[in-house]
Structure 1
Amino acid sequence: MSAPRHILAFALLGSSLPLQAQSLGDDPLLGELKLPTVLSATRLKQSPAEVPGSMTVLDRQLIRASGARDVPELMRLVPGMMVGYRSGNQMNVNLHGTNISEARRMQVLVDGRSVYRPGFATVEWSAIPLAIEDIERIEVFRGPNTAAYGANALMGVINIISRHPRDYAGTTLKYTQGDRGVSDWYGNQHFRLAQSDWRLSLSGVADDGFDLLEPGVEYRDSRQLERFNLSGAFNITHQQTLELQLAASHSKQQYYYDYEPYLKALRPSRDTLGAYDYAIAEHNPDSDSQISDYSLQGLWKNDINPDHSVQILAYAQQMNREQAWRACDSPIVFIDELKQLYDLNPTAARRVSKFLEYADAAYDMRTAMQISLGSEYTAQLGALGEAIKQARNGYRNSEPVCWDIDHNMEENRIHLEVQDTLRVNDQLRLMSGLSYRYDRATSETFFGGTVENHIVQGFGNLEYRPHARWLFQLGGMLEDDRLIGTSFSPRIAGHFFIAPLHSLRAVYSEAVRSPDMYENNAYWSYPIKNASGPVPANPEYYATGIGPGDLEQERMRAVELGYHGNFSRQGVSLDVRFFQERIDNMNSEPLKITDFYPNNNSRVEFRGGEAEVDWRLGYADRLRLTYAHIVYDASSKLDERLTPRHSGSAGWIHEWPAGFTSSLFYYGADELNERRFERADLRLEKRFELSASSALSLALTWQERLDDEALTWDENLYDSQSQYYLSAELSF
């Protein structure tokens, strides 16, 4: 059945319901009925039936019932969202897929503040300074939304909205303990000062990550995270409010040795190998990291009158990463011939290293390179290869050169934004705004110093309702990026209302993603500090990863047909979308210092459908189903790995008598990085009312993998398919 036929079927179903115009006053779409609202689609408060796209809302009940310990695990409840793990402390979240190693194409906000790193265009999920217990809801816009949030929102927006300080009372303490090293803690305190409410939260998360690197070898990928979050809300006048948030986090993460020697050891044996090979085989220091994240944020709102409001958002944030260790390699990495070879042909430089592992073999380097490189071979490359081979023979029995490496980085962002919302009349509503952002990244290794950027945005969204059954929206973002240039991202959408809570929509949007500083402006080199061993005079590492500086923006064009319906009497909310998304000018290259070739040569196209059903069966039961079917065509194999054709989730929450609550969830995907994923989660909770103002909750969460696959990568293994953790929460 084609997409239009699916939508027509839902339209006929919705049209069988009464319009309820009699009970909604003069305007059958506004009236007195309290509709659910979302904020993150267009920056306007809208009902889900009015959103120009598909929106998933994970509310507080769903977040608690899931038993999830972090936000990426919650994203499995979002249709079409893919969750991948590089290691136990490195999580990636992508809508529909693309490159598994770097999630570069979604905007992630915490109360409107972007936590998308300015230097590396990723999200450090393990360092976000907001506890999951402090989240009120998460709004996920599934689809391009550059029109509202700028160039990082190419494929979607995740807005994590914290609980308002007025929603707290007294004190809450919580502790969670389980296998795989799970040890989490949380505490909050509510207090009032004059005309303000405040909430102070302290929390920590710790676990051991995956169990096995390979049979019998433990995996070093644990994490420890401590967070501080202070949130305050002021009622300045009846029309004006001010919200403040001060947040900080400190994370420790385990990593293995993060340097690949140009010449590797063959076997760790003193009897058969020279000094270099044995030393390299034995040298394997850890490169653990520490990440500190600080932010200060303020939001001022002024409701001038019921039809006009203004707000100003301002925030400053800083992220520091400390990661340093000592690397060792052959003195050959500093010779002029290798640097010349790399400058002429990095592929040849990499392949020579493979040949040199077998330098004792009787072969001619020129012939070997000619066979390996084919049409890329030149006589100059062969001559350099032969010179490198001779240098290798000279260094055969030498000690390696060792020096200090650091991947330390400091990233800063300052953001100021003004937004105006005006209802001109019953038919017309306008949101408009301006913002300025300053980004800076400093790293001697990755940038050779500091890279700065200034971004100015002008955005708006116009709603026009010519009739009770019709709604049209026109939105766009004009963005000037000093490092990239100027771009405009438009969106146009039309809704037809079958009934007040049931709409058909058609959306066309264009979106962009600006290359980050690392892709476009990197100057990645290894300064040689505190060197030891046979150090040549004025050593200079042979490889340098230099960003081209002229990368173009990735560009998406997307079309969506959808239906949203709220069957209020039956307690059912249903959203269905069919989409076609094409991204051109993509950069899909793995960016390593020895293979640093960011470009705009890739493209990908996604087609498919997504559905989401939320059914509240009275007070005691809630059922939730999601499903996504995605067909993709990508020019790069790297952009195919994280896109299953079929994925989804199912959940059942039940309130039992005597304070018991149970929840059962299933998550499945037929292929995540070429691996099947299926898991069932069970959570049981018992609440004890200790007094009128105090309660104790005990909960057990049990997760069971229903497949026998590694998670995303071969090395991401557990020694058991089951995991459990217990939590106790006391509020008073």
Structure 2
Amino acid sequence: MAFLNFRRALNSLCISLLCPAVALCTELNELSELDYLNDLPVTFSATRLPQTLNEAPASISIIDRRMIDASSATTISELLRLVPGMQSYHIATNASAVAYHGMSDKFPSRMEVMIDGRSVYIPLFSAVIWETLPITIADIERIEVVRGTNTVTQGSNAFLGAINIITHTPLSYQSDAIHYTHGEFNTRNIQAEHNQKTTNGHYRVSSGISGNDGNTFASGAQDPYFKRYINFKGTTSPTLLDTITVDLGYSEGYSSVGDNGPKPNENYKRREFETNYQQINWSHIVNGSDEFKVSYAHSVNNFDARAVTPEEVAHLLSQPLGVTPAQVLGSGIAQAFIDANDPTLITTETGNIEQHNLEITLKQQPSYNSQLITGIAYSAGSAKNRQLLNTNDWVKEESTRLFTNWEYSGFTDWTVNTGALLEHSSNGATRVSPRAAANYQLSERSSIRTSISRAYRMPSLLESNFERVIYIPAPYTGTYGEVFDYEYLANEDLSPEKLDSIDLGFIIRWPEYHSQLDTRIFYEEIEDGITSSYLLPDATMLATAPNDNVYRTYMNRAQWNNQGIELQYKYQSESPLRPFAVLNYAYINSDGYRNDGNQNGSATDVTDRLETRNPMHTASALVSITLPSRLQISLSHYYLGSVRWQGAVSDSNPPNPHYHRTDLKISKAFKLSPESDLKIAVIVQNLLDKPYSEFYADNMFEQRTYLQAQLSF
């Protein structure tokens, strides 16, 4: 905290003296290594302003490079198990999801995920597709997680929380390196990195190939995975006042979407993907300390899968038509049915998505004791998927956001943060999300924070436009009607979700013990929750679709509240053994319901209680020591309470049971020369070999072993 105030004072001095060394002032406004190694790290995530954790208006967890190197995680999503209140789970061997405070399915829709400030949220699926990201753990410098709503800063996707994955820059990581992993499921990953300084600036390139054969199920089926990727990051300063950064990335491959059909483990469906992104940021220093910044990002995500076969369609039609599959196949109805619903793919989780994001911000320091940022952002997304949107045309959505955050620290021992975001969506909704927080410095070692927020989440592109209608081919409409089934219909009257939250935080440090404790107590009340609901068809629909008893649509038919406590304790010492420990625990008690509508043609609404949709207890721990000869030993432990994930466990079945999992990582570093190092590690996940289910009941996680090698030069 003292260092941050010193920096502000020096900035003010630069202004008052019209300091010619503008480059120095520019550097002082950026995060430095000294910032990050301070007792309380500096972060931009909560407000886009540089703040220590005890000044920020929200609880923030930071997964730094030391935690990453010590952890047993082999994927980015697994790292997030080290955040209290966060759930990371596999929906297939190589597909995963991450949710904060549960209430989710395989597509968590209430948390923003960014890479270097660029959103990787896919509007067609209302989620992040982690296995397609063109980066790996090796590319990450740190991850900052805002635990609690951050809509006021990052828009409606950050309804319950936000994750910002910060990658290495050409300046922060200047060694070249090669990484290799081999292990379970015949995993073979290789990545190479190159950093270069030129007369025009610095750049970093990383590229790799990863893949495995997937799990082999009792049926003999597998769900393999493959990805090749490349990303580029460059930075240049054409003048002392200007900095330009460029980020480019590309990935392609295939994986399983994890759909479970009538026969467990026999219907994992392969999906191919191709993604690319481009991002450019221009930063200009004004008056020595103020910063004007323009950012533009563009991304394309294409997902494809094989077409269904006539044999598969014949099985689907045989029962409603009252004939055998062979008869359906022989009559030609199956192929005609495919032609009428073209393109019909083996999974609906496909499509083409394009996104544009433009943002302009002005960061100011009106006085020594205050910081202010204001901005405007425009986002445009479009998607094309006949099976999900009932059209071959592109479906578009747009949103415009105006936002501001102000920090004032002029009161003795107090820091006040206020902010608001005005968001307008192309569906016609306009909402204001405000937040007010006050942080009080109890002593040099401890501080307390209280905040109150109201946030809105705009319906996603899929939620607003999901319409799935299955048509009968023209030659047979006289007998069976034009529509075979109304599965989903779009709801033009869908409203935004609303969240009111109260947050109490407490941070205490014990410098003599190299440790600190971060506590968060929260209450969250969600109204107008968007959920899939059954409705009875009207007379017209029944006349055109004799097979239809009910249809589904998204509606504002859910409401619930969460209350609980989150704890994170960190111990980090630079003594000879470099002991390190992180302990996390979260308790959350949920209460509420969602109206599931008129199921099975019933005229009575079905109410789904939500108490079991959240794991009441979650915990994780990571401990590590470094022995002589650069031998590091780390143990990780994870606990997840019982939970009934939406879409994974039916209401008639018991929830997924709780589980404990312990991982071991042993690594050894060798100094090959003054410029080169070799590091070899062995990772054993689920060390005690106690299989447990993740998401789907039959998706078992058993012991997995990996060998890693890293050569830096």
TM-score range, shorter chain: 0.7 to 0.9
Q: Structure 1: how far apart are the matches of 2:495 and 2:91?
A: 28
Q: Structure 2: how far apart are the matches of 1:179 and 1:248?
A: 26
Q: Which residue of 2 aligns with 1:230?
A: 232
Identical counterparts, % of pairs? 25
- Which residue identity does 2:382 align to in structure 1? R
1:70 Cα offset (Å): 1.3
1:518–1:547 CA contact under 8 A, matched in 2: no
1:709 Cα offset (Å): 2.7
Q: Tell me if 1:401 matches 2:383.
A: no
Number of residue equivalences: 630
1:559–1:579 CA contact under 8 A, matched in 2: yes
Q: Structure 1: how far apart are the matches of 2:259 and 2:419?
A: 48
1:566 Cα offset (Å): 3.1
1:123-167 deviation line (CA, Å, top 9, x unaligned):
000011112101000000000111111111110000000011123
> Residues 536-547 of structure 1 correspond to what in structure 2 (within 5 A)?
540-547=483-490
TM-score normalized with structure 1 length = 0.80
Q: Which residue of 2 aligns with 1:472?
A: 416
Q: Which residue of 2 aligns with 1:632?
A: 590
Q: Structure 2: how far apart are the matches of 1:147 and 1:253?
A: 35
Q: Structure 2: how far apart are the matches of 1:709 and 1:633?
A: 27
> Residues 465-504 of structure 1 correspond to what in structure 2 (within 5 A)?
465-504=409-448
> Residues 172-187 of structure 1 correspond to what in structure 2 (within 5 A)?
172-187=177-192
- Which residue identity does 1:669 align to in structure 2? L
**What SS does the corresponding residue of 2:227 show, helix, strand or coil?**
strand
Q: Select the structure with the greater relative contact order (CA < 8 A; seq sep ≥ 6).
A: 1
Q: Structure 2: how far apart are the matches of 1:431 and 1:181?
A: 49
1:488 Cα offset (Å): 0.5
1:455–1:482 CA contact under 8 A, matched in 2: yes
1:24 Cα offset (Å): 8.0
Q: Structure 2: how far apart are the matches of 1:465 and 1:285?
A: 58
1:327-362 deviation line (CA, Å, top 9, x unaligned):
45678988xxxxxxxxxxxxxxxxxxxxx96xxxxx
Q: Structure 2: how far apart are the matches of 1:424 and 1:24?
A: 16
1:258 Cα offset (Å): 8.1
1:696–1:728 CA contact under 8 A, matched in 2: yes
Q: Which residue of 1 aligns with 2:557?
A: 601
1:444-486 deviation line (CA, Å, top 9, x unaligned):
2222122111211000111122323011111111001111411
1:698-718 deviation line (CA, Å, top 9, x unaligned):
110111265443222212025
Over 3 Å counting, the alpha-carbon distance change for 1:398 and 1:232 in structure 2 is closer
Q: Structure 2: how far apart are the matches of 1:450 and 1:239?
A: 41
Q: Which residue of 2 aligns with 1:201?
A: 206
1:413-472 deviation line (CA, Å, top 9, x unaligned):
111101111111122221111111111111222221221112110001111223230111
Deviates more, 1:583-592 or 1:475-484: 583-592
Q: Tell me if 1:731 matches 2:712.
A: yes
Over 3 Å counting, the alpha-carbon distance change for 1:473 and 1:258 in structure 2 is same
Give the counterpart of 2:163 among 153, 158, 176: 158
1:126–1:251 CA contact under 8 A, matched in 2: no
Q: Tell me if 1:564 matches 2:507.
A: yes
Give the counterpart of 1:582 among 499, 522, 525: 525
- Which residue identity does 1:62 align to in structure 2? M
1:622-679 deviation line (CA, Å, top 9, x unaligned):
1111110111113144855552211111111212111211111111122243321211
Q: Structure 2: how far apart are the matches of 1:65 and 1:414?
A: 37
Over 3 Å counting, the alpha-carbon distance change for 1:494 and 1:401 in structure 2 is same
2:691–2:700 CA contact under 8 A, matched in 1: no
Q: Which residue of 2 aligns with 1:679?
A: 661
Q: Tell me if 1:665 matches 2:647.
A: no
Q: Structure 2: how far apart are the matches of 1:173 and 1:583?
A: 47
- Which residue identity does 1:728 align to in structure 2? A
**What SS does the corresponding residue of 2:686 show, helix, strand or coil?**
strand
Structure 2: 5+ residue stretches without partners: 13-27, 29-33, 536-547, 595-607, 645-655
Over 3 Å counting, the alpha-carbon distance change for 1:487 and 1:197 in structure 2 is same
2:95–2:257 CA contact under 8 A, matched in 1: no
Q: Structure 2: how far apart are the matches of 1:705 and 1:549?
A: 51
Q: Tell me if 1:548 matches 2:488.
A: no
Q: Tell me if 1:415 matches 2:345.
A: no
> Residues 504-515 of structure 1 correspond to what in structure 2 (within 5 A)?
504-515=448-459
Q: Which residue of 1 aligns with 2:406?
A: 462
**What SS does the corresponding residue of 1:152 show, helix, strand or coil?**
helix
2:664–2:687 CA contact under 8 A, matched in 1: no
CA RMSD of aligned residues (A): 3.2
Q: Which residue of 2 aligns with 1:368?
A: none
**What SS does the corresponding residue of 2:73 show, helix, strand or coil?**
coil
Q: Which residue of 2 aligns with 1:339?
A: none
Q: Structure 2: how far apart are the matches of 1:395 and 1:167?
A: 62
Q: Structure 1: how far apart are the matches of 2:114 and 2:196?
A: 26
Q: Which residue of 2 aligns with 1:69?
A: 74
Q: Structure 2: how far apart are the matches of 1:211 and 1:141?
A: 38
- Which residue identity does 1:321 align to in structure 2? F
Q: Which residue of 2 aligns with 1:144?
A: 149
Q: Structure 1: how far apart are the matches of 2:665 and 2:316?
A: 55
1:342-400 deviation line (CA, Å, top 9, x unaligned):
xxxxxxxxxxxxxx96xxxxxxxxxxxxxxxxxxxxxxxxxxxxxx7xx5269995436
1:99–1:640 CA contact under 8 A, matched in 2: no
1:79–1:610 CA contact under 8 A, matched in 2: yes
Q: Structure 1: how far apart are the matches of 2:663 and 2:252?
A: 29
Q: Structure 2: how far apart are the matches of 1:496 and 1:591?
A: 49
1:258-312 deviation line (CA, Å, top 9, x unaligned):
888xxxxxxxxxxxxxxxxxxxx9xx99742111111000111223245311211
Over 3 Å counting, the alpha-carbon distance change for 1:301 and 1:488 in structure 2 is same
**What SS does the corresponding residue of 1:467 show, helix, strand or coil?**
coil
1:174–1:728 CA contact under 8 A, matched in 2: yes
Q: Tell me if 1:79 matches 2:84.
A: yes
1:727 Cα offset (Å): 0.9
